[in-house]
Each structure stands twice: as C-alpha cells, then as structure tokens.
Structure 1
C-alpha cells in the first residue's frame, strides 16, 4: 500500500534557523537607515545625557541624606559651575554681522569722526586702520552730502561704483580706494603711509567736488 503524501515546504511550516545566522540577519536588517530616521541627533543625545546627569545628582543627594533646600542649593551650584566653565572655555558669543563685506562694522558715526580716527591711527603708524577709517570717512561724507543714499551693508566696491556715477572725474580713484580698503580688510595685505595719503588726498578733493548731473553729461556728449 502506498505511503501517505509527503509533507512539502509551505508557508504554514515554521522554518528553523540556527541562532548565529538568525542574529546576523537581524543585525543586517536593523542596520537599514529606515529604522533610524527618527533617532535623536547628537545635540538631543547630549541634552538627554545632561538631564540624566542632573537627575543622577538628585538621586545621589537623596541617597546621601542631603535633601530639601540644602540639596537643591548644592545641585544648583554644581550646574552653575558647569555653565561658567563652558562660558569661559567657549567665550562670549559674537554678534554675526549682517554682511561679511560691509564697509561699516560699528554703529553710525559722522565723516568727521571717521577722519579723526583715521588721523589718530596714522599718527601711530597703524596704516591698515588709518586706510579703513579714511575710506569710511569718504563714503560717510558722500552720504551726508546726499551724493550717496545711506544703505546698511553697502560694501566699499559698491560705494565706489555708485559714487563714480555722480562724480565721474574721480571714478578711477574711488575704485582704487575701495581696492585698498578690501586689500587690508579682507586680503591680508599691509598698508603704508603712501596708501593712506592717497585716500586722504582723495577725501580732500571729494569735499570740494560737485556732482555731475546726468543732463550736463548728456549735453557734453552731443
């Protein structure tokens, strides 16, 4: 008599996998990035660790019999000491300027104030600072005379280009002054007495200059 039907492989029959291959398969599966999309980032993990540490301080204080106001004061002192150490190590946060290439890096000052600062730097042979302050004096003076509209974040190159349109005879010198400012401010170059005197002379000339109106310029070309 024929034997009964053999049992074939089907989905209803459990598959037995040895322990080591099963563990390796599970590790490969769990390493898929899709399972870690919602994991906390480094900052969140650091904050979690910090609050765990603070919680452990409370637990240690309680187990040591230090409770109430005394325990709270001790923990607060420890936390303050930690933040003080971090503040000392990292330093005071610096304000990020609105534009890395902005001509003016401080509060508004008059052209006369910039000229005074430039002369003080020149007298001390601080030529880089003298060049910077004299260029700022030039641009501020043009703003005060309404030859340039005041605009926060304006760069030296932009100011020179705009001023050159209303003062064409001085356009080349204005561009050279802007380059000198950029060289010492961002290019790592060192100014000298001659560099400063060129900007000072340009500043004096521009004080006497009058804008060339567009109509006059057009008439001269006809």
Structure 2
C-alpha cells in the first residue's frame, strides 16, 4: 500500500528512512480517505438502525437479567400482560368517548321536519336505530322551528333546543331534555340507539305536533 511505502521508504543505500510522525499520519489519513476503502460502509440510516437495535437488545437483556427465570420469565410476564389487555377489552367492550353536549344538532344540508321524519322511518325500518334516533330528534326541533316555537339556529345543540322549547311547552320540558340526552348519547357518547328509545322520540314528536304553547310561561321565563 502507498501508506506503507511512505512510512518505510528507503534511501539509496537501502537503509530504511523513517518518516516523521506527523507527516506519516497525514499521509495515512489521505490514503484511508480514498473512497475505495469506504464503498462497503453502512449508510447513515443503516447506522442509526443498528444503533437502535443495539439499545433495544441491551434493554431486553437487562430486563431478562432482572427477571426470575431470565428470558423465559420475561416472556411469561409479557404474555400475562397481553392476556390481561385482551380480557379487559372483552369485558369492557369498545372504548367510548366521553359524552359531550357541545356538538351541533344539524351538520348537513338543511331539510324540513317532514324530510327528517321520512328518513327516520326508513332507518327504523332497516333497524338502523342510531340514524333513526338522530333524524327523529332533528324532525322534532325543525317542527318546532316551523311553528315559530323555536328561533331557527343551525348551530344550536340538542340541549339548547330542548331548553328553549321547554319555555313554550313546559308540560313537555322533561321529555324534551330526555330526548336531547338520548340524541347526545347516540351521537357523541358512543351508545347504540335502540328501538325503545326511538319509540319514545316518535311519540314525543307526535304529541308535540298537537301541543299548544304556553305563551304566558314562555314570556315570564324569558324575562327572568
């Protein structure tokens, strides 16, 4: 190699001539910087992956060393944890979001109360109780808006609509709040709609269509 030639150069009298240390080191560095010596080196990504695998291997070796039974004991603990997670998943069922009442009641193109009723009936006939409950609640609110018992508010929540409607229809205030909670539970709380829940909303919808508002009570509560 050229480096060795530099380091062990000989004089004309065949006497080895020693190159000073600093120039020799610089010559060696120049020689070793030749791309031929690095063409099989791992790329930066491979070096990072190798480093990560080494750390993971050290972690598992440390855990195995601290666990009774070594690797077998560690694997047994991991298996027990996985079985516990599966058991809890089966016992608790699907993870549900925390119920909220902050979502808007209407999220699509505005329709009439009759259109929402028709959609609710179609969903109910197909056994799609979630959608049936949602469309029936929207039909209730739109019907009250069409009768001027509610101020139109596309961004209102089910609870807000129920509270406002209860001012004009105090006899149905509790049922309206129950209907709003049912809508929120199905839409935001992850609870499945049911046929009995849909039947209650359908009955309320029909009763409200014949109900007469208590305008005196609504006026008094509004001033309060």
Structure 2 length-normalised TM: 0.51
Tell me which of 100, 109, 112 is aligned to 2:111.
109
- Kindly state the Cα deviation for residue 215 of structure 1 after the two structures are TM-superposed: 6.4
> Equivalent residue for 1:211?
213
Counterpart among 138, 155, 161 of residue 157 in structure 2: 155
Question: Greater relative contact order: 1 or 2 (C-alpha under 8 angstroms, separation 6 or more)?
Answer: 2
Report runs of 4+ in structure 1 exceeding 6 Å deviation. Answer: 215-218
Number of the residue aligned with 1:141 = 143
Equivalent position of 2:168 in the other structure: 166
Q: Deviations 1:44-75 (Å, cap 9, x if unpaired)?
A: xxxxxxxxxxxxxxxxxxxxxxxxxxxxxxxx
Alignment of 1:41-190 (within 5 A): 101-190=103-192
Q: Is the 8 A contact 2:102 2:157 kept in 1?
A: no
Q: Structure 1 length as normaliser, TM-score?
A: 0.52
Q: Distance in 1 between matches of 2:196 and 2:219?
A: 33
Query: Which ranges in structure 1 are unaligned for 5 or more consecutive residues?
Result: 1-98
Pick closer, same or farther for the CA change 1:122–1:214 going to 2, 3 Å. Answer: same
RMSD of aligned residue pairs (Cα, Å):
1.9
How far apart, in 1, do the equivalents of 2:187 and 2:217 lie?
37
Distance 1:153 1:141 in 2: 16
List alignment gaps of at least 5 residues for structure 2: 1-100
Q: How far apart in 2 are the matches of 1:215 and 1:203?
A: 21
Deviation at 1:100, TM superposition (A): 6.2
CA 1:216–1:159 in structure 2 vs 1: closer, same or farther (change >3 Å)?
A: closer
Report what 1:9 is aligned to.
Answer: none
Partner in structure 1 of residue 96 of structure 2: none
For residue 179 of structure 1, report the CA deviation from its aligned partner: 0.2
Rounded Cα–Cα distance in structure 2 between residues aligned with 1:216 and 1:121: 34
> In structure 2, do the counterparts of structure 1 residues 100 and 161 end up closer, same or farther at CA, with 3 Å as the change threshold?
closer
* 1-structure distance, mates of 2:218, 2:172: 17
Distance 2:154 2:131 in 1: 21
- Distance across 1 between alignment mates of 2:182 and 2:188: 10
Q: Which has the larger radius of gyration?
A: 2
Contact 2:168 2:217 in 1 (8 A): no
How far off its partner does 1:191 sit?
Answer: 1.3
Cα displacement (A) at 1:116 = 0.2
CA distance in 1, matches of 2:151, 2:145: 6
